[in-house]
Copies of this chain bind each other. A is one copy, B any other.
Amino acid sequence: MSYFDAASSLPLHPVARQALLAALDDGWADPGRPHREGRRARMLLDAARESAAEAVGCRPDELTFTPSGTRALHTGIAGALAGRRRVSRRLLVSAVEHSAVLHAAGTHEAAGGTVTELPVERTGRLRTDALRQALGDGDPAALVCLQSANHEVGTAQPVAEAAELCWAAGVPLLVDAAQSLPWGPVPGDWSLLAASAHKWGGPAGVGLLVVRKGVRFAPPPPADERERGRAAGFENIPAIVAAAASLRAVHQEAAAEAERLTALVDRIRDRVPELVPDTEVVGDPVRRLPHLVTFSCLYADGEALLHALDRAGFAVSSGSSCTSSTLTPSHVLRAMGVLSEGNVRVSLPPGTSRGEVNRFLATLPEAVGSVRAQLVPDAEPVVVASGPDGVTVDALGKRCPVPVIELAAVIGTVPVGAVVTVLSDDEAARLDIPAWCHTHHHDYLGESEADAGATAYRVRRAE
């Protein structure tokens, strides 16, 4: 079995395991108690904080351990917004942030604040011109949130440049460093930072929240005396000790491992489009995480593909609409404007061998082929209108990727310049039909409302 879903979670690093076992014996007491056991727990906690702070590049008293990366983001965003409440209630976030950031933004909006989503390039990289414009439009901002690298497509974000723009505007920048911190400290003059230990081989149950000295911060209630009021609840010291130890360990290994995995990912990026027709590799090819690559396969169901790869011995992830319970495609892929069909995210754990990657590449074509074969529609596309200017296909009730499959089947039957209209009630079609047109060089003319909650998507055959 090859586990290629490192961006979700990693097994415990051997150093973390060792540290955890030792700290289970010495770190179970309440560090707030003055007795011997309490003082011993406090010493372990203090040492872990110093170690983690050094790895992050901050002062120990700027670093709080939270129960998860999600909680670090929730607390960091709420606390920074509350601290700046009198200046502004406007939050700026990139459109491709993790759902934890977007959920916190939603809470802010529900409480009367405003949220501006900053657009990204087709690679997923923040458009810094949009950030510059938003910071300079006369409406002051309370906080900017930007990930250091995207969790779905691996694109590195221009954090240092964003931090400079924020600094000049006097607005704090919160960096979600969950995906990149395992690879090294985040550069630039950011104000707040959040991360999650199980992404670097630490145990679950530990997040980091860094709030730089001088940043206005009012922790969200209820009050609690632990972790300087920034993380309520009994400190999870054994896990914290293990998290700090493994962060140091992975940083020591990071440079060499990044070089090795970057080459393996380049190989996947190069080979997948050659091996599997109608596939789009997404995300920035150069400014990216070393270990992560995402591609989408036309005419394939992402969830089926994930299961086929799992059966073949490869654990991967998918941002396809088909895999989610909401039936809407990943907001990241949507913001990038790229295909979500048959989406596969490969994220290599440290130590992945070239042999494993080669086996994956050898397996992939058959896996995609088998999924595509299952999806050959039972029936012909239902053409409900046909004329000299084009045809209308009724794909109502058909789920991703069938509307695109039917569009692809029908467009070959109309003359160049004619228009195919696809009626669909599948939310994924809104993303995938334009994305398909983009990769297949047809003209996407736009969508309009049709009867019974359906949408009509219009495509002109270009060649």
Verify B10–A198 contact, CB threshold 8 A: no
Verify B67–A205 contact, CB threshold 8 A: yes
CA distance A233 to B34 in the complex (A): 31
With A221-B103, A235-B204, A237-B204 in contact, do A8 and B36 touch (Cβ < 8 Å)? no
A118 at the interface (CB under 8 A from B): no
Please give the distance in Å from A306's CB to the nearest CB on chain B: 6
A304-333 interface code vs B (CB 8 A; 1 in, 0 out): 001100100001110000010100000000
Verify B28–A234 contact, CB threshold 8 A: no
A365 at the interface (CB under 8 A from B): no
With A68-B232, A232-B70 in contact, do A223 and B106 touch (Cβ < 8 Å)? yes
Note all chain B residues with C-beta closer than 8 A to A71. Answer: 67, 232-233
Verify B12–A204 contact, CB threshold 8 A: no
CA distance A196 to B235 in the complex (A): 12
Note all chain B residues with C-beta closer than 8 A to A36. Answer: 1, 310, 315
Note all chain B residues with C-beta closer than 8 A to A1. Answer: 36-37
With A67-B67, A67-B68, A74-B222 in contact, do A204 and B238 touch (Cβ < 8 Å)? yes
A258 at the interface (CB under 8 A from B): no
Note all chain B residues with C-beta closer than 8 A to A221. Answer: 103, 106-107, 110
Please give the distance in Å from A293's CB to the nearest CB on chain B: 17
A35 at the interface (CB under 8 A from B): yes
With A67-B67, A223-B106, A234-B196 in contact, do A5 and B29 touch (Cβ < 8 Å)? yes
Verify B34–A303 contact, CB threshold 8 A: yes
Verify A9–B30 contact, CB threshold 8 A: yes
A249 at the interface (CB under 8 A from B): no
Q: How many residues of A contact B (CB 8 A)?
A: 63
Verify A69–B33 contact, CB threshold 8 A: no
Verify A207–B224 contact, CB threshold 8 A: no
Verify B315–A69 contact, CB threshold 8 A: no
A104 at the interface (CB under 8 A from B): yes
Please give the distance in Å from A420's CB to the nearest CB on chain B: 34
CA distance A224 to B1 in the complex (A): 30
Interface residues of A (CB under 8 A from B): 1, 3, 5, 8-12, 17, 20-21, 24-25, 28-30, 33-38, 67-71, 74, 99-100, 103-104, 106-107, 110, 196, 198, 203-205, 207, 221-225, 232-239, 303, 306-307, 310, 315-317, 323, 325
| 25 A-B pairs (CB sep. < 8 Å) | A3-B29, A5-B29, A5-B30, A5-B33, A5-B35, A5-B38, A8-B30, A8-B38, A11-B28, A28-B203, A29-B315, A34-B306, A35-B310, A35-B317, A36-B310, A37-B315, A67-B67, A67-B205, A68-B234, A70-B232, A103-B222, A103-B224, A104-B222, A107-B221, A204-B236
